[in-house]
Every structure is written in structure tokens, then in C-alpha cells.
Structure 1
């Protein structure tokens, strides 16, 4: 298949957690994939090797998502390797949990930089560079609706992501580019499981009507839907949470 016939995806945070499952799922659909990492090139290279062993196309690209020059370089590297970009998936994010009354403002700033500025930087570049028929897929969280204590600062950052996502969809009128956000529920990733005891995890697993935690592959299916066949879904926040909220 020629490069022009192959859809190309850039996945931020693509070396771990949900991002890694998204990369694998898009590769299964025939996408050439740029696997972005922030600080662990070895892990990103492992993902690249997994895909290329299955005769797929993948490269690793690095950088801080909030650094516009680093991300511009990542976009350029992706285009140089594959000829263009059709889909950008923003899974990169950080989560620090604490009550609003006691959260370190340094932690607030770190989440703001990665989750808000990072999403903005990458969305801005995607809006400028994606080919017609493309898709921008950002990440929110179901906790914007369930309002769990200790998630205040994290939810604030993800509510901002939802806001910019819905407005960007309207700003790209006439470009044939969709812009949506995925809002996962409790999903069995290191980011989610870190710091939670077995009892809390079991309680959260029972919260959804399907009575289990989501798996990264569940979220990747939602992303694959928005990236490819879901051309009439635009300017939406899609909750992938087993019916939790």
C-alpha cells in the first residue's frame, strides 16, 4: 500500500496505558502510527517494534506536549516518515489527586501545563496540518460528571479540554475534520490504579452496571470508531464508561 493510501495517526502518550492500546488498535486498522513519548524512549520503541514485527508502520517521536517547538518537530517527523497526518489522539495527561483545600499549587500547575496547555498545543498544530477527512480526539474523564472528591483539579483541567474540543469542532467548519473527546470511566491503567488499595478498586469496578473496570482496549475501540467510521460524530464528548454516568 502506498503512503498516500495509508491513514496516518499521531498518538500522544502512545507508549503506555490507554495510549499504547490506542496505537495497537489503530495499527490493526492499517494506520501508520507515530508513537509519542515524553520521557521514556525505550518504552515507545518497544511499541514501535511490536507493530513493525506485525508488518505495520510506526515510528517513535518525543517531546513535552506543552512545548510547541517539540510538538512541531514531532508533527514534522511524522509527516516526513509517512507523508501527512490524518488523525491526532491526545492521550497524554497527568493526574494528581488531593482535596482542593490541600492540593499543592505546584501540582495544579503541572496538570494545567500537560492537560490543558499540552492539549491546546497539539490541537492547534493538528488544526493547522491535518488532511481532509481527519480527526482530532482529545481526552476528558467521566469524573466531570461523577464529581468524586479529590479529583477537583484534575477535573478542572479536563473540563477545559472538553470546552476547547467543542469549540475547535465549530472552528474547523468546511475543513472535513472532526473534533471529539473521549471521557473514560475507571480504566485499569497504571495511572488509575496507582495509590488505590484493592478494596477501593473493587468498589469502583462494581460502580458501573457492567460491574467491571474498563480495559485500555475498551477505550481504544472508542478511539478507533471516532478516528475512522464515525464521520457524523463531531463536536461531542463520548463517555466510554460501561454506563457509569
Structure 2
């Protein structure tokens, strides 16, 4: 079983932002525990007495907001980079899937609909590729709870029954699941991935993206795991 943890960065409805990102990481089921444990150790390194309330969340960590206000910028940014390094050092089967859109360039299409169709179909194609290589695996997509929950659930059901523009999702064992990010370090990691892409495309800042740029699903030099409409 491969679990694709996804989160968004940027707001689909904010006219002040150019880009919207949907991104995250696909983990083989046995890899999830190791990565979550490493992320727990990382957070414990700065608050060993009570690490649980410290949620790895890109925007507050970058800007020093909410609970992260008490930590200096250098420490906050270091933690973002170290969390991404955990993924960068992990097993080669752990792969990033992402869609980055310039909202104006895909108008009148909805950024959430467009991005989810791209990411879900690319994840499904990845699982089909594994099957052709005698490694049959099913997949589940896991989201942070958000305002897009009802939209995503409806799209996923349609993609599995009616189909999307490239076919029907064949390798997902269930409709997407939604978790509270506070309870999942892996959802938090997907937030950092999405925020890293948002910083790169919205602000030209690749200090975080550069750490994970080689972890997209890729075959023959083609990044199948990255959709760009910019």
C-alpha cells in the first residue's frame, strides 16, 4: 500500500496570490512510521518537554507566527530544512507529487479541481507502472482537513466512476481520507513540501525546494510527479 499525503499552499480564492499549489509525498506503508518518528525527534530537539503542540506548518514557521513566534528565524528555518532533509535522505520509493498552477493561466478552471485531477491521475499512473513491473500496490490519498474536503470527495468519486480526462482511477482502494494535521507529522511534512513549492514559484525563493527537488516521481529524466501550469 502506498499512502499519498497531500496539502495545499496558497489560496485558490485570494486574488493577491498568483499561484496555487497542491503537493505531498507518497510513502510505502512501512516508511511512514520511520519518517514520522524522525520528525518527532526533530521537533523534540527544540522543545523536549512538550513537542506535540509544535506543528510543522510552513507559513507560520517561515514568518514566525502563532506558536512559532517564540523561536528565532534562524531556528525556525533550520527546522523546515531539517524536516525536508529527512525526506531527501529517505528510501527512494518515497516520491513527491505536486501540481503548481498560475491561477490566471488556467481560468476559468478551478485551481483545486485542476490540481487534484493532475495529482490523483499521476499517482494512479505511478501505481499502474509499479503493477507493470510486478509490484502491484494499491493507494490511498490522505489530506489535511480543509475547506476543500467536500470538493475533493466529490471529485474523487467521479474520477473512480465516471472518470477524468485521461481515464478512470483504477488503483486507489478508497476515496480520500481527511486528518487533522495536528495529529499527523506526515500531513505536516506534506504542508512543508507544498510551502516549499509555493515559496519557489510565488517568490522565487528556492532555499527549501532545492532540498527536495530530486524526490519527484521521475522516469527517464521526466518528472511525472510534477505538473506545472505557470
TM-score by length of 2: 0.33
Higher RCO, Cα 8 Å, sep 6+ = 2
TM-score normalised by the chain length of structure 1: 0.32
